[in-house]
Structure 1
């Protein structure tokens, strides 16, 4: 009988020990997790901001993200290996002697298997064309070979437009010179003016398409060209923003740490002092050519409200006139986000209508 009681007591003590250990283990795990989160938060709140404050290279990486090696194992010299037909790779050297990697895509109607398509052919077509040329300025990260960028090139090519795209300094296979807002704007300005000089037909429509950060580079570039009385036919702004400071304010990092008294001093002010401002809300008022803003409501990288704010600012700066400024909002149900607008089923119609409005004399054999 006693052994039975001893057995019950033993089981009870075993269960009690198990529960105690379980509670203790849970508390230890909880303590470790909370401690890790506190340490992580303190690092993000103190060490990282001060590191950003005193590291110019980190400040630039925050804005450009140009050193991320993706996609990997690609040869930018051979666009055909990426599924792009009727394209060539070549290099330009800017006034600062910065080598810039460029792709030129021919309109679909020029792709004839019976023709020898060499560099002379590309040059001749570009020099003598009357078909619209669209110059694409990409955003942050990687190079001219990202999938969504190639997707847009192919769409424009299929619509029988010339496409020219390039990598700014320190992107892709372009030379790594001083990376700055002024630097990428000078690269863009050089490529645009090279195209204008290359095209013999002065009536050939030339458009610029700027995506994300490329929208800010586009507006700054065209503002400088406008000051020289040089104008293009029209400007596409895909997923644009007002300025870099506003983009920062929409990030999770800003929302978590902006209450810290040293946040502006350590994160915002250094970038501002490097003139990495990309003040699209300033330059949009200078541009004389027609502008179309295209933004998806489900954009989680550059919030839709920033594109809308830029559009409204543009209207105010242009006397509330919609003659040269329009905006296309894409509903969230289409799942276009930040980089899939090229898949939007109505995009070809939007592009064609805008180009026709800007250059009504252009007729394409499609």
Structure 2
């Protein structure tokens, strides 16, 4: 005698049949989804240089939106001029020059020539800022850092790489953004002509850019007064492997071949741990232990690489480790209460050693 739950029996409750069909459908959808996420998409990623660049640079993420870069005062940046430079590769780059606090009320500084004259004649430190991926030079956490520099009575020059902000669209690559940054730094060093100390500040991806730039200039015996590396990584291969999103795929046996190797083969390497050996100016590394974008351990690796090359010389290489209890993460070291004193002390010592 057939029981009530036989699938071939007309007496089987309809809810049981529907549930079985639903379970089979869910299993089918799960398998297809898994194959797409862990099979098809990684293969597409592996062979698409365009996608790799978009993932690395995130320049399509433009925030804040609808910024009028020609009116920096509209987003709270006083004493700031907007201007443009052409790099040696003829890429038009958008920049801001931000006056120090002591010059904000100087009514004689109006035109571009006035602003440039200030740079030529100043004795105060000048910071050149190289930002990370996504956003532009008007992003909120970057504005906070500019204002910190401004309150310390330092000059600031910041800019957007090609394809970011209002800078010209051009082929994005490691050497592309490095050449843009190198052109800006060379322009600044030429304007200043040794009358004031120039410091470079790189954040996140900007640490890879700034280290590569200074390594290239190091071969020409040209160096700024010092380099700050905020939330740095040692190289892109390790950053890709340790990024939180990578943990979804890292268990797969082909992870390195599919995800990591294409960046290396396409010269998207940002090997700061190799380039740092060519830098001769003092370096300060700043990293928060609760950084969930670039793990703190990668900043430690970069510090160790620098120490191996340059020796345990605190006048050359320093690292500030910021406890997770401060909650500063990846973007807000600018809010660290000890940061102004760290900057002032480093600037003073670096400039002193340069002039001795």
Matches within 5 A, 1:1-366: 35-112=28-105, 114-200=107-193, 202-360=194-352
- Please list every run of 5 or more consecutive structure 2 residues that lacks an aligned counterpart in the other structure: 1-12
Q: Distance in 2 between matches of 1:23 and 1:70?
A: 51
Task: Give secondary structure in 2 for the equivalent of 1:285.
Answer: helix
Q: Secondary structure at the match of 1:272?
A: helix
1:60–1:23 CA distance, 2 compared to 1 (3 A): same
Q: Secondary structure, in 3 states, of the residue corresponding to 1:237?
A: strand
Tell me the C-alpha RMSD between the 2 structures: 2.1
Partners of 1:313 and 1:193 in 2: how far apart? 26
Q: How far apart, in 1, do the equivalents of 2:330 and 2:275 lie?
A: 22
Query: Alpha-carbon deviation of 1:36?
Result: 4.3
Structure having the higher Rg: 1
Distance 1:67-1:152 versus aligned 2 partners, 3 A rule: same
Q: Rate the CA distance shift 1:32–1:193 in 2: closer, same or farther, 3 A.
A: same
Question: Alignment partner of 2:216: what SS?
Answer: helix
Structure 1 gap segments, 5+ residues each: 1-19
Q: CA deviation at 1:263?
A: 3.0
TM-score (norm 2): 0.90
CA contact (8 A) 2:71 2:82 kept: yes
C-alpha contact (below 8 Å) 2:88/2:183 kept by paired residues = yes
Q: Is the 8 A contact 1:298 1:304 kept in 2?
A: yes
Q: How far apart, CA to CA, are the structure 2 residues paired with 1:301 and 1:335?
A: 14
- The two structures have a TM-score, normalised by structure 1, of 0.88
The 3 A distance-change label for structure 1 pair 203 and 141 is same
- How far is the alpha carbon of 1:22 from its aligned partner? 7.8
User: After TM superposition, which residue ranges in structure 1, 4 or more long, deviate above 4 angstroms?
Assistant: 20-37
Question: In the alignment, which residue of structure 2 is the partner of 1:14?
Answer: none
Contact persistence 2:108–2:114 (CA under 8 A): no
Are 1:315 and 1:322, in contact at CA under 8 Å, matched by a contact in 2? no
| Residues 24/70 of structure 1: CA separation in 2 closer, same or farther (3 Å cut) | farther
